[in-house]
Amino acid sequence: AAFQGCKALKCIVIPDSVQKIGVGSFNGCGSLTEVSIPDGIEELNEYLFKDCRSLREIEVPESVKQIDSFAFENCVFLKRIEIPSSVTSIEESFRRCSGLTSVTIPNSVTSIGENAFDGCDNLVYNEYDNAYYLGNAENPYLWLIKLKSTGITSCAINENCKFIYTNAFHGCSGLTSVAIPNSVTTIGSKAFSGCSGLTSVTISNSVTTIGDDAFSGCSVLTSVAIPNSVTSIGDFTFSYCTGL
Q: Check if the beta carbon of residue 231 is closer than 8 Å to that of residue 209.
A: yes
Q: pLDDT tens digits, residue range 109-158?
A: 999 999 999 999 999 999 999 999 999 999 999 999 999 999 999 999 99
Q: Check if the beta carbon of residue 26 is closer than 8 Å to that of residue 14.
A: no
Q: Check if the beta carbon of residue 170 is closer than 8 Å to that of residue 190.
A: yes
Q: Check if the beta carbon of residue 11 is closer than 8 Å to that of residue 31.
A: no
What integer best gives the mean pLDDT of the chain? Answer: 97
No. of H helices and E strands in the chain? 0, 17
User: Which of 146, 124, 112 has the alpha carbon at shortest distance from 80?
Assistant: 124
Say how far apart CA 212 and CA 1 lie, in whole Å: 34
Q: Check if the beta carbon of residue 222 is closer than 8 Å to that of residue 243.
A: yes
Q: What is the pLDDT of residue 208?
A: 98
- Whether pLDDT at 1 is above 90: no
At 195, the amino acid letter reads: C
Say how far apart CA 161 and CA 167 lie, in whole Å: 16
Cα separation of the two ends of the chain: 51
Q: What is the pLDDT of residue 164?
A: 98
Q: Check if the beta carbon of residue 142 is closer than 8 Å to that of residue 135.
A: yes
